[in-house]
C-alpha cells in the first residue's frame, strides 16, 4: 500500500472539482490500486489557508469554501503566505492552481520552482510556468527525482502533451492549427443565434466559462498563451505569449457572422504555429473565416478536438458541453495518478468523454 500526502495551492473551481473527484475515487484507489492519500494542506487567495499533517477534512474544507468562510476555522497553524505554505506543508504532491499571469508567470512560476526544489511532484493547470520556464522546471524536476506535470494547461482534459511525448516520441511537431479557447467559440456561436456581443459574453459568464473581466478570452490572451505553451513544450522552441501575433474577437459583429453563414462559412478564433528547423515562422491567434468543408466548421459552443500524424491531418472529435473546469480537475487527477502517485506505474482510471476543439497538426518522424 502506497500513501501520499497532497496539498492544494489554489482552491477555486478547478481545485474544488479535483477535491470532489478525489473524494469519489478514494475507495476505488485503495481497493483496486493500493493507493491511499491524505490532503494535508489547502491554501487559497480569499478563504485563508490550513495545514493539518494528520489530514484535512476535505468535505469540511469544500463546505467552508462554498460558503465563503475561512479555512482557518479548521486549523490553528499560522501561515504567512503561499511560500510559507509550501515550506510547511511537506507534501508529496502539490496541486498548483493559482491564477495565470500571462506576462511573467508569477507567482505560480516561483511556487512550482520552490516545490520542485523541495522534492515535491507538482501538477498544475497554470500555463504561466510552462510558457516562461519550461526547460528550467523540467531540469529542476529531473535533478530532484520528481515530476513537473502540466497536462491540463492546454485543451483541459485532452492529453495533448502526453500523446506527443509517449506515443510519438521520435517525431518533430511541424505545425498546428485549431481552436483552443472555448469561451470565444461559444461567444461566436451565440452571435450566430442572434445574440449581441454583450449578451453572448453575459451568457458565457452565467454558465461559468467566462470571468467577470472577459478580456483575457475575447482579446486573445488565453489563446496566445496556449499557443506559446504548445510551441515551447512540443516544438522545443521557447516562445512568450507577447510574441504571438494576436487579434481577438471584439470587432466581430452579429452582422459579420450572419453574412459569413450566408456564404457557408463561420468565424473561429484560430490558433496556429509553424516552424522551419529551429525557428518559428508563424505563431498566430486571429479570427478566421472557416469554410464548411473544414472539420473545424462543425464545432459549435464548447466542444473541442485535436489531430494529425505523419504530415496528413487526422481528426478526432469528442464533446461534453459546459464541463471544462470539471474536466480540467479530472485530468489533473488522471495526470497525477498516472505519473506522480504511481511512481511510473501507468494506472488507467475511467476517462470520461473530453471536450476540445478540432485541431489539425502535422508531425515529421525523425530519421
Catalytic residues: 226
DSSP-derived letter for residue 171 is E
Distances, alpha carbon 24 to alpha carbons 29, 139, 273, 296, 330, in Å? 10, 34, 39, 35, 11
What single-letter DSSP state applies at residue 294? S
Number of residues written out for the chain: 367
Which of 20, 68, 4 shows the shortest CA–CA distance to 329?
A: 20
Q: In this structure, what C-alpha cell is assigned to residue 211? A: 470571468
Report the candidate in 270, 271, 268 with the shortest Cα–Cα distance to residue 231: 271
**Rounded to whole angstroms, how far apart are CA atoms 112 and 129?**
7
* 97 φ, ψ (degrees, to nearest 5): -135, 50
SS3 55: coil
487527477: which residue's cell? Answer: 333
Q: For CA atoms 163, 167, 173, 178, give the dihedral sign.
A: negative
Helix (H) or strand (E) holding 168: none
Amino acid at each position: 500500500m502506497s500513501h501520499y500526502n497532497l496539498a492544494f495551492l489554489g482552491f477555486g473551481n478547478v481545485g474544488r472539482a479535483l477535491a470532489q473527484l478525489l473524494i469519489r475515487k478514494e475507495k476505488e484507489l485503495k481497493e483496486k490500486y493500493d493507493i491511499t492519500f491524505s490532503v494535508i494542506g489547502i491554501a487559497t487567495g480569499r478563504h485563508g489557508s490550513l495545514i493539518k499533517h494528520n489530514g484535512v477534512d476535505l468535505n469540511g474544507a469544500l463546505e467552508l469554501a462554498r460558503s465563503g468562510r475561512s479555512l482557518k476555522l479548521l486549523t490553528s497553524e499560522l501561515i504567512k503566505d503561499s511560500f510559507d505554505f509550501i515550506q510547511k506543508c511537506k507534501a508529496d504532491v502539490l496541486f498548483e492552481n493559482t491564477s495565470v499571469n500571462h506576462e511573467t508567470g508569477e507567482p505560480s512560476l516561483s511556487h512550482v520552482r520552490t516545490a520542485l526544489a523541495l522534492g515535491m511532484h507538482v501538477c498544475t493547470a497554470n500555463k504561466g510556468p510552462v510558457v516562461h520556464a519550461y526547460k528550467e522546471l523540467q531540469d529542476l524536476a529531473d535533478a530532484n527525482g520528481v515530476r513537473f506535470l502540466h497536462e491540463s494547461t492546454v485543451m483541459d482534459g485532452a492529453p495533448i502533451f502526453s500523446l506527443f511525448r509517449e506515443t510519438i516520441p521520435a517525431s518533430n511537431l511541424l505545425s498546428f492549427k485549431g481552436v483552443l479557447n472555448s469561451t470565444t467559440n461559444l461567444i461566436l456561436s451565440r452571435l450566430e443565434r442572434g445574440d449581441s456581443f454583450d449578451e453572448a459574453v453575459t451568457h458565457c459568464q452565467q454558465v461559468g466559462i467566462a470571468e467577470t473581466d472577459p478580456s483575457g478570452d475575447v482579446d486573445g490572451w488565453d489563446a496566445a498563451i496556449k499557443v506559446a505553451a504548445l510551441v515551447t513544450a512540443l516544438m522545443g522552441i521557447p516562445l512568450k505569449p507577447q510574441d504571438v501575433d494576436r487579434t481577438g474577437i471584439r470587432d466581430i459583429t452579429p452582422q459579420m457572422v450572419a453574412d459569413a453563414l450566408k456564404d457557408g462559412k463561420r468565424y473561429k478564433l484560430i490558433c496556429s504555429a509553424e516552424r522551419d528547423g529551429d525557428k518559428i515562422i508563424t505563431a498566430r491567434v486571429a479570427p478566421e473565416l472557416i469554410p464548411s468543408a473544414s472539420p473545424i466548421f462543425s464545432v459549435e459552443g464548447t466542444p473541442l478536438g485535436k489531430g494529425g500524424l505523419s504530415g496528413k491531418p487526422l481528426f478526432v472529435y469528442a464533446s461534453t458541453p459546459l464541463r471544462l473546469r470539471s474536466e480540467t480537475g479530472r485530468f489533473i487527477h488522471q495526470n497525477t495518478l498516472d505519473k506522480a502517485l504511481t511512481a511510473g506505474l501507468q494506472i488507467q482510471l475511467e476517462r470520461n468523454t473530453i471536450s476540445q476543439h478540432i485541431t489539425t497538426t502535422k508531425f515529421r518522424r525523425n530519421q
